[in-house]
């Protein structure tokens, strides 16, 4: 499933809806979704810092392939 084409399909469908009860149901779904806290706001500062370090490592090319990691940690699994 391509999420972008799914979203575009929904946008096209919503644009054609003339039934106010369906629009109201969609509004309720939207409002409930908007209340859901973002996972980033729910994690600790230590977890955020760890994620940031990992992203910096990726940007700087400090990464290993899956095969390399598997070879290193295989004995522990």
What pLDDT band is residue 1 in, cutting at 50, 70 and 90? confident
- pTM, rounded to two decimals: 0.50
Per residue in 17-59, pLDDT tens?
999 999 999 999 999 999 999 999 999 999 999 999 999 999 9
The residues spanned by each domain of the chain are: 1-36, 43-77
**Torsion 9-15-21-25 (CA) sign:** positive
The torsion angles phi and psi of 64, rounded to 5 degrees, stand at: -130, 150
Q: Average model confidence (pLDDT) for the chain? A: 94
Mean pLDDT of 60-74: 93
């Amino acid at each position: 499933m391509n999420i972008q084409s799914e979203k575009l399909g929904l946008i096209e469908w919503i644009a054609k809806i003339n039934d106010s009860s369906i629009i109201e149901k969609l509004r309720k779904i939207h409002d409930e979704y908007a209340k859901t806290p973002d996972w980033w706001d729910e994690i600790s500062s230590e977890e955020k810092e760890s994620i940031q370090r990992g992203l910096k490592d990726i940007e700087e090319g400090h990464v290993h392939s899956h095969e390399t990691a598997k070879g290193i940690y295989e004995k522990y699994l």
